[in-house]
Amino acid sequence: MFSLQSLFPLLAMLVSLLAWHDPQPLIVWKGAVIPLLMVIMFAMGLTLRWQDFRRIARKPKPLMLGVGLQFTVMPLLAWLLARVLALPPELALGILMVGACAGGTASNVMTYLANGDVALSVSMTLVSTLAGIVLTPALLLLLADTSIQIDAMAILFTTAKIVVLPLAAGLLISQYLPDLRRQLFPHLGKVATAAILAIIAIVVALNADELAVVGTTTVVAVMLHNLLGMSIGYGVARLSGMTAAECRTIAIEVGMQNSGLAAALALKYFTPMTALPGALFSIWHNISGSLYASYSHWYIQRAIRQQRQQAKQSGCHGHE
């Protein structure tokens, strides 16, 4: 699962290039985006157990801090970047949709690779996903350009359908059909990865003509959105007295969004152009997340080696 996930940035760029080069075969699959996202949510549900909910109650402070940052820092950053960089209305709404969504499921794997707190990561993803059913449409209504019609209730019901039903189905199977869960579990990473790659390819294909004229500004906005989110998440967690592992986890969770959901909602209620920031974010945040996880792992291993070396030297001096 993790080896395939580590290849995700490369695969995402590859399918994006292929979709851009020959978009026609993929355009007809526009209606598959929401079912594909439901597959991802179902896979997430299969990774959960009832114990995950108990873990939330035992240690609520880092969880509440992380989720609070998720739904304040990311939407406000999106709103600010859209104005500072003067993004066109459709793209501004697209990046705001990314900012208003919950944390992405890939963050759990990145947290594992970064030697973070995986239990906290899973809890944050779960809580933000459920909270996002209400908060995502509410934030869009609050922050989107007033000239754009936002049907908050329709978005709320669609988000609930995409998230709750498959998530609950996966959780129930995980809890009451453990043999079936054991059979499915080894394949979840591959299935979820394939589903998000398919979503990226479809969104890129739908925007093949527009990609040539979008320019670098949208790409810069997406990159800054992610990197500033991770940096602010880490900094606030550090100032709040969280452990190093919790800080890394909160940074990843805040910066890595469920951009697949943003793209799906954009395609259903707005335009393919509005879904483009979600597709770009899906590619970029996996690159940045992978790089951050690799750096964190290297930094921790180096610190461990230094401690062992110091202990060894202290032991040698002690025998003198």
- Span 116-174, pLDDT tens digits: 887 788 788 888 988 998 999 999 999 988 777 888 888 888 888 888 888 889 888 98
Question: Between 10 and 278, whose confidence is greater?
Answer: 278
Mean pLDDT along residues 67-92:
95
159-195 burial: b if 16+ Cβ within 10 Å, else e: beebbeebbeebbebbeeeeeebeebeeebbeebbbb
Structure confidence at residue 315 (pLDDT): 61
Percent of the chain with pLDDT over 90: 29
Mean pLDDT along residues 176-197:
84
**Residue 171 structure tokens:** 């959780």
Reference 120, options 26, 29, 254; nearest CA is 254
CB 136 within 8 A of CB 100: yes
**pLDDT tens column, 221-236:** 999 999 999 999 999 9
Question: Between 209 and 17, whose confidence is greater?
Answer: 17
Tell me the pTM. 0.81
State the pLDDT confidence band at 308, using cuts at 50, 70 and 90. Answer: confident
Q: Is the pLDDT of residue 72 over 50?
A: yes
Query: What does the alpha-carbon distance between residue 232 and residue 303 come to, in Å, rounded to a whole number?
Result: 24
**Residue 288 structure tokens:** 């940045």
Question: Between 52 and 16, whose confidence is greater?
Answer: 16
Query: What does the alpha-carbon distance between residue 296 and residue 318 come to, in Å, rounded to a whole number?
Result: 33
Query: What does the alpha-carbon distance between residue 310 and residue 53 come to, in Å, rounded to a whole number?
Result: 41
CATH number listed for the domain at residues 2-319 = 1.20.1530.20
What are the extents of the domains in the chain?
2-319
Structure confidence at residue 299 (pLDDT): 84
Neighbours of 278 (CB within 10 A): 29
State the pLDDT confidence band at 66, using cuts at 50, 70 and 90. Answer: very high
Q: Is the pLDDT of residue 91 over 90?
A: yes
Question: Between 68 and 276, whose confidence is greater?
Answer: 68
Q: Is the pLDDT of residue 211 over 90?
A: no
Structure confidence at residue 92 (pLDDT): 94
Structure confidence at residue 317 (pLDDT): 57
Structure confidence at residue 1 (pLDDT): 41
Reference 91, options 283, 253, 280; nearest CA is 280
State the pLDDT confidence band at 6, using cuts at 50, 70 and 90. Answer: low
Structure confidence at residue 247 (pLDDT): 94
**pLDDT tens column, 237-290:** 999 999 999 999 999 999 999 888 898 899 889 988 898 898 888 888 877 887
Structure confidence at residue 185 (pLDDT): 85
Q: Is the pLDDT of residue 96 over 60?
A: yes
Structure confidence at residue 2 (pLDDT): 44
Burial label for 257, CB within 10 Å (0-12, 13-18, 19+), is buried
Rg (CA), the chain: 20
**pLDDT tens column, 34-55:** 888 888 888 878 877 777 667 6
